[in-house]
Amino acid sequence: MVRALLAIAVPVAALVPGPWSDTSLPAQQRAALVVANLTLDEKLAFLHGPHGRNSQCTTDAKCAYVGNVAGNDRLDIPPITMQDGPQGFRVTGNKATSTAWPSGLTMAASWDPDALYAWGRGMGREFYAKGANVQLGPGLCLARVPRNGRNFEYLSGEDPFLGATLAFPAISGIQAQKVVANAKHFVFNNQETNRLKVSAKVDERTRFEMYYPPFQGAIDAGVGSVMCSYNRIGGTYSCENPETLRELKETMGFKGYVVSDWLATHSTSLMAGLDMEMPSDRFMNPAMIKTGLEEGNITASAVDDSVARILRSMFDVGVMDEPSSTWDWKKLQKNVTTEEAALVARQLSQVSTVLLKNEGGTLPLAKGQKLAVLGFADLGTVVHAGGSGKVMPSFVAKPLDTIRAAAGEGAEVSFNNGTDIAAAVELASSADVAIIFVATLSQEGRDRDSLSLDDGCVVNEREYNDQCKGNGDRQNELVAAVAAANPKTVVVASVPGAVLMPWSGDVAAILTNFMPGQQAGFAIADVLFGVVNPSGKLPLTFPNRENETELAPSQWPGLPENNPTEETYSEELLVGYRYYDAKGIEFTTGFPFGHGLSYTKFEYSDLYVFHDCLGEACDLGRPLFETVSFTVKNVGQVAGAEVAQLYLGFPKEAGEPPLQLKGFKKTKALEPGQEERVEIYLNPARDAAIWDARAHDWALVPGLFDVKVGASSRDIRLAGNFTQGMRAVPREPELLV
Ligand code: GLC
C-alpha cells in the first residue's frame, strides 16, 4: 500500500514551503513575503540576464531561451524563461516544432475578442509546453506609419480602442496558461527606421488618447510584464525615461515589471522605472546597483519594489506554484504543435480574412469549375513576416493544394506562379475564374520601401526562406493583365499591413488574409468556397496612394537625416481614418478602416441611446454609462456574422477628430432572416472624455455627441446623438431614428 502511495508522485510545487505558500493570499502579498526573505544578492539576481550573454545558446539552462533570469536555488524559485514572439513560440537553434499562428495585425482583423482569447490560449499552451514562462508578446504599437516594418506584429491596427479591446483577451488567454505575457513595445516604437536612436516627440494628450490605450487594455487584463522600447522619447531613452515609465506605473496603474528590449538598457535606470535588463547585465548588475545604493542614488525600497513586481507576476499567473520540472529548458526539444492547435489556427485565419470586394457574386466559388490559380499559391505561399516575431511554420498548407482538394467533382485547376505573365494570362483567359495570390513582406529593423505589392518580396532571402518565390516585383502588372483577360478575377493578398491596390476597380473580388500563419491554404479555401462566410474587417486603412496622410520627414522617419534624429508626432490625434475623416478623403482604389464584406447582407435598425446613472453620478449630472442598442438583421441568403461598429463624434469644442471608434460587437452567425439586438456600453469616463494635460487626468466633455453605427467607418447605417453632463436623472430610452 505504501509503495502504491509513493508511486503516485505528487508534483512538488517549485517554491519551498513558507508563508508565501498560502495560495489564498494575493500575489502582491506572496511576493512581498518572499522579498522579505531574500538577501540583497538574491534580490539583485532577478534584475538582469546572464553576464556577457547577448544571444540565446543551446548549451545550458542559463542561456537556453531568448531571455533568461536565474532562479533561486535556496527557495527553489523557478528561473524566468522568456521567448519570442507575438505570433507564436519562435523556435531558434533546435528544430522542434511550434505553430506559426496568424500575426497580431491579422488577428486584429477578426475584431473578435473571443478569437483573440483563443489565439492567446493556443500560443500560451505552446510556451508552457516548451518550458517558457514568459511570452514576449503581444505587440501593441499603433500603426501610425503605414510603412512600419513591424505593423504585422501589432494587434492595435490604427485605432487605440481596437487595440485596448483586443489586448485584454489576448493577454488573458496567454496568462491563463501560466505564462506571463509581455506588452510591447512601450512606447512610440511606431517605426523601424533608426529605431535604436530616433527620439519621438509626443504631446501628453496624444500619448494618453492614442498610444497608451492598448497598454491600458493590457494593464486592465493584469499583464505581468511590459517591454520598454529602443527609441528615445523627448531625447531620453524609453527604458530610462522617468516620465513615461511613471505614467505607465502610476497613472495607468501597471503592477507588473518593466523589462528592457534587448540591449535597450543604457544605464542603471532602476530609479527611472526599469525593473529588469535583457539580455544581459551591462548596467543592471549587482556591482553597479550596490554602488548606487552606497552613493544613495538608488534606494533599497526601489530594489525591493522591482523584485516584488517580478515575483508578483510569477505568483499571479501561477508560475511559482508549478513543479520545478515545468520550467525545464530541455523541453525546448519538444514538438509542441498539435492537431488541435492546427485546427484553431485555421479557424483564426478564417475569421481574420477580410472580403474587400465581391462583384457579381463571384465568390463563393462554385464547385466543378475551371480555375486558374496564379501567383504565390504553391512554393511561394506567404504565411509570416520577418524578424524576432517570425515563427517557422511546422508545415504550410499551400492554397494550390487546398483549392484543388476543395474544387469538387469535374473541376479543372491549373497553376502558374506568375513569373511568366503571358503564360499566366493564357491560363486565366480560358478559365471560369482566375485566382491570383499576391503578397508582400516586411520585417523588424527596417520600414517598407513603399506600400506597393512590388516592393518587399525580395528584400531578404534569408529572412523569408521560400516565401514570395516568383515575380515579387511585377505583381501589379500581373493582376492588371489577368483582369483584362478574365472579368472573373479574384485577388487574395497576403500582406504585413496597408497595401496599395491600383487594380481594385478592375477585378471582380478581393480578399486579404494579412499574415495568415501556417494554415493559410486551408483557411483561404474555406472562405473561397463558402465553407466559411468571411466576417473580418480592416484594422487599418488601405490607402489610395503612397503617404496619403502626408507625413512630412519631420514626422517620419525623423530629421535631421543624420543620427540621432527626432520624429515629431505633429499629426497628434489624426492617425489613420481620423486623418481621412478630418480631410474628407474619399476612397477610390483603397478601402476604409473597419471595411469588410460578407456573402450575405445585413440591415441595421432601431437605434436607442440609454443614459443611466446611479447614486452620486446622477447628482453630478453625469450619466454613469450610455447604452447604445440597435438591431442587426441578416437580409441575405446565407448565414453570416457582422462586426457592427460604434463611432462617436465629440462636441466641436473638444477638438477631437470627426469620429472615433468607441465600441464594436461581432454578432453570432445569423441565419437568413434572423436578427440580433446589439447592446454596446460606453464608459463616459473613458469613452466620452478627453485627456486634460493640465490636470493630467481624463475630463468628461459636456455637450452633444454624435452616435454613428455601421459596418465600417465609412458605411454608417444609423445615426443619433446624446447630450452628456446635462442630465441628472435616468430617462426612458428614446428612439433616436
Ligand atoms: C528584439 C525585438 C523584441 C524582441 C526582443 C528579443 O529586438 O525588438 O520585440 O522580443 O528583441 O528577441
Q: What is residue 683's predicted lDDT score, i.e. its pLDDT?
A: 86
Residue 733 has pLDDT above 60, yes or no: no
What are 367's three cell numbers?
Answer: 464547385
Cell reading at 26 = 494575493
* Whether pLDDT at 534 is above 50: yes
Poorest-confidence range of 154-168, 535-549, 625-639, 658-672?
625-639
**Closest residue CA from atom 8 of ligand 1:** 261
Tell me the average pLDDT across 516-537.
98
Q: Is 326 exposed, middle or buried (0-12, 13-18, 19+ CB in 10 A)?
A: buried
Judge whether residue 618 has pLDDT over 80. no
Any ligand 1 atom below 6 A from CB of 65 = no
Residue 416 has pLDDT above 80, yes or no: yes
Residue-wise DSSP of 172-211? HHHHTTT-EEEEEEETT----TTTTT-EEE--HHHIIIII
Is 356:109 a contact under the CB 8 Å cutoff?
no
pLDDT above 60 (res 9): no
Residue 155, pLDDT above cutoff 70:
yes
84 lines ligand 1 (CB under 6 A): yes
Q: How far apart are CA 138 and CA 84, in angstroms?
A: 10
In this predicted structure, what is the pLDDT of residue 624?
63
Q: Answer yes or no: is pLDDT of 319 > 90.
A: yes
Over residues 112-135, the pLDDT tens digits come to 999 999 999 999 999 999 999 999
Task: Give distance in angstroms: CA of 448 to centre of ligand 1.
Answer: 19
Cβ-based neighbour number of residue 120 at 10 Å: 29
Average pLDDT, the chain: 93
Is residue 496 very low, low, confident or very high in pLDDT (cuts 50, 70, 90)? very high
Average pLDDT over residues 714-727: 83
Instruction: Give the C-alpha separation, 59 to 68, whole Å.
Output: 13
What is the arithmetic mean of pLDDT over 446-457? Answer: 94
Rounded CA-CA distance 35/506 in Å is 66
Q: What is the pLDDT of residue 527?
A: 98
Q: Give dist(CA 543, CA 555) in Å, integer.
A: 18
Q: Is the CB of 136 under 6 A from ligand 1?
A: yes
Are 197 and 565 a contacting pair, CB within 8 Å? yes
Confidence of residue 206 (pLDDT cuts 50, 70, 90): very high
Q: Please give the Cα distance from 722 to 609 (Å, whole number).
A: 7
For 330, 519, 522, 602, 720, the CA distances from 715, given in Å and listed in that order, are: 53, 31, 30, 12, 15
Whether 459 has a pLDDT exceeding 70, the answer reads no
Q: Cα(603)–Cα(715) distance, rounded to whole angstroms? A: 12
Q: How far does the centroid of ligand 1 lie from the alpha carbon of residue 118, in Å?
A: 24
d(CA 375, CA 306): 52
Candidate ranges 90-94, 496-500, 621-625, 700-704; pick with highest mean pLDDT? 496-500
Q: How far is the CA of 190 from the centre of ligand 1 (A)?
A: 14
Among 388, 390, 391, 443, name the best residue to mutate to test ligand 1's pocket (greatest count of ligand atoms within 8 A of Cβ).
388
DSSP letter, residue 226: E
User: Is residue 34 pLDDT above 70, yes or no?
Assistant: yes
- For residue 259, the cross-strand partners are 227, 276
Q: Is the pLDDT of residue 613 over 80?
A: no
Residue 268: band (very low, low, confident or very high) from pLDDT cuts 50, 70, 90: very high
In the chain, % of residues over pLDDT 70: 93
Note the pLDDT of residue 736: 41
- Whose Cα sits closest to atom 9 in ligand 1? 388
Cβ–ligand 1 distance for 526 under 6 Å, the answer no
Whole-number Å distance, alpha carbon 181 to ligand 1 midpoint, is: 14
> What atom of ligand 1 comes closest to residue 389's alpha carbon?
9
Q: In a mutational test of the pocket of ligand 1, which residue from 262, 263, 280 has the highest number of ligand atoms less than 8 Å from its CB?
A: 262
Active site residue 261: yes
Residue whose CA is at the smallest distance from ligand 1 atom 4? 388
**Average pLDDT rounded to a whole number, residues 487-507:** 98
Ligand 1 atom 12: residue of nearest CA: 388
Taking the centre of ligand 1 as the mean of its atom positions, its distance from the CA of residue 317, in whole angstroms, is 22
What amino acid occupies position 366?
A: A
Give me the mean pLDDT over the 71-96 stretch.
92
C-alpha separations of 563 from 193, 199, 231, 552 in Å: 11, 10, 12, 18
Averaged over 436-460, what is the pLDDT?
91
Element (H, E) at 480: helix 475-485
Q: Is 666 in the pocket of ligand 1 (CB under 6 A)?
A: no
C-alpha closest to that of 390 among 149, 131, 140 = 149
- Going from the Cα of 229 to the center of ligand 1, the distance in angstroms, rounded, reads 9
> How many other CB atoms are found less than 10 A from the CB of residue 7?
7
With beta carbons less than 8 A apart as the criterion, state whether 643 and 693 touch.
Answer: no
Checking if the pLDDT of 460 tops 80, the result is no
pLDDT tens digits, one per residue of 361-394: 999 999 999 999 999 999 999 999 999 999 999 8
C-alpha span between 92 and 696 (Å, rounded): 44
CA of 136 to the centre of ligand 1 (A): 8
Mean pLDDT on 286-302: 98
Q: Which of the residues 159, 261, 305, 455 is marked catalytic? A: 261
Strand partners, 632: 604, 676
Mean pLDDT, range 553-568, rounded to an integer: 85
Average pLDDT, stretch 283-312? 98
Asked if the model's pLDDT at residue 52 lies above 90, the reply is: no
Judge whether residue 95 has pLDDT over 70. no
Q: Which three cell numbers stand for residue 412?
A: 479543372
Rounded Cα gap, residues 585 and 582, in angstroms: 8
Read off the DSSP letter of residue 85. -
Is the CB of residue 66 below 6 angstroms from any atom belonging to ligand 1? yes
pLDDT value, residue 475: 97
Q: Output the pLDDT for position 734.
A: 44
Average pLDDT rounded to a whole number, residues 226-235: 98
What pLDDT does 90 receive? 95
Q: Give me the pLDDT at residue 5, please.
A: 47
